Amino acid sequence: MPNHASILPGDTAPWFHQRSFANPRYAFNTAGGRYIVLCFFGSAGDPRAQAALAAMKALPVFDDAQASFFGVSFDAADEREGRVADSYPGTRFLFDFDGTVGKLYGAIASDETLTPGAKFAIRRLWVVLDPTMRVMKTMAFADDGSDIAEMADYLAALPPVNRFAGFELQAPILFLPDIFEPGFCDTLIAQYDASGGEDSGFMREVNGKTVLLKDSGHKVRRDHTIEESATIEAVRSRFVRRVVPQIKKAYNFEVTRMERYLVGCYAAEDAAHFRAHRDNTTSGTAHRRFAVSVNLNADFDGGEVSFPEFGSRSYKAPVGGAVVFSCSLLHAVSRVTRGRRYAFLPFLYDDAAAKVRHANLKSLDAATPPA
């Protein structure tokens, strides 16, 4: 008898990478922060699938703010014959021709051997996720099509995304004022301005290697790496006295290591920003435990840090103040609309994570610095 994964309300939704129209390796974990509907419709050539897709396309809820729709196709003809298409905002399609996603969510038997081009048995179903990417509802397609109206009614009754839990949530972060004194912030800004900074990138896993990529649609920032030993020691001592004890108190985690002494600049003239991402999703970054964002100035608009899975609220620390958060949290930096935001941006970890980092150095692309 086929063995299917069991996905139930309250479960954490499995993460995956799969091909979409826009991305050959779309990272599903970045979709948090809104309700998500996964529709495992099988083939858009099937009348029941056609009815489901048409009904969802007509719903105003799919606007990428309240909700997003992901149709999962197992039929290569859907792409080849143009039977499905993304519609922004709100609607996207995933091409799960190897069954990766279907097996995770129980649409395909986990013990099914899939051969490219071959037909295989599927269970057509719906899965609804909350903004933190936990399962809210699962429902199989009904022979009489009644599942479509039931799903539409369910989505229409959902509360505003910021109150999906019944009240507005606080992101599980630390907010720490007075990490750096104003004069020390000025020193770090002056060092940045003297160098001018360099275009910054982001890490991605490509063919088993962690590589540094640049994409202005995803991230725009210029960075300066601190090399002066006296400045490094001044930063380190302040973190040991003012940040490390607070992380120990709040998370029972003993920080012993800091990765990179880096000042970043988000400038309005560059339309600088950083779209939603996590900081530890590649083998070369898996050792990172906490990220810290210390604002060095206040004369800018935009550039605020947000945590989409926990609502739309954003955070702007005062001069010398820090936002501390787990590298596993989805977070973003909004576009700077006036001035320049300067920030000190390290990652923190411990001795156990240092062993992970050392073991994974081999996964770094040769052209990527182990920063």
For the chain, the distance separating the N- and C-terminal CA atoms, rounded to the nearest angstrom, is 49
* 309 contact partners, CB below 8 Å, separation of at least 6: 32, 33, 131, 132, 133, 171, 329, 330
Strands (E), 191-328: 198-199, 202-206, 209-213, 219-220, 222-225, 257-259, 262-267, 273-277, 290-295, 300-301, 305-306, 314-315, 322-326
Report the candidate in 113, 180, 156, 140 with the shortest Cα–Cα distance to residue 346. 180
In angstroms, the CA 114 to CA 128 distance is 26
DSSP state of 234: H
CB-side neighbour CA atoms (13 Å) of 176: 23
The one-letter code for the residue type at 24 is P
> What is the structure's pLDDT at 192?
97
H helix and E strand count, the chain: 8, 24
Domains located in the chain, CATH noted: 17-163 (3.40.30.10), 174-363 (2.60.120.620)
Query: What SS3 string covers 76-96?
Result: HHHHHCCCCCCECCCEEEEEC
pTM for the structure as a whole: 0.90
Q: What is the pLDDT along the chain (371 residues), one digit of tens a residue?
A: 678 999 999 999 999 999 999 999 999 999 999 999 999 999 999 999 999 999 999 999 999 999 999 999 999 999 999 999 999 999 999 999 999 999 999 999 988 776 666 677 899 999 999 999 999 999 999 999 999 999 999 999 999 999 999 999 999 999 999 999 999 999 999 999 999 899 988 877 777 777 777 888 899 999 999 999 999 999 999 999 999 999 999 999 999 999 999 999 999 999 999 999 999 999 999 999 999 999 999 999 999 999 999 999 999 999 999 999 999 999 999 999 999 999 999 999 999 999 999 998 887 765 554 44
* Cα pseudo-dihedral 39, 42, 46, 51, rounded to 10: 0
Where residue 117 falls (left for φ over 0; alpha for ψ -120 to 50; beta otherwise) is left
Q: Are strands 338-344 and 290-295 parallel, antiparallel or unpaired?
A: antiparallel
Q: Taking the alpha carbons of 30, 36, 39, 45 in that order, is the dihedral positive or negative?
A: negative
Do 179 and 320 meet the contact criterion of CB atoms below 8 Å apart?
Answer: yes
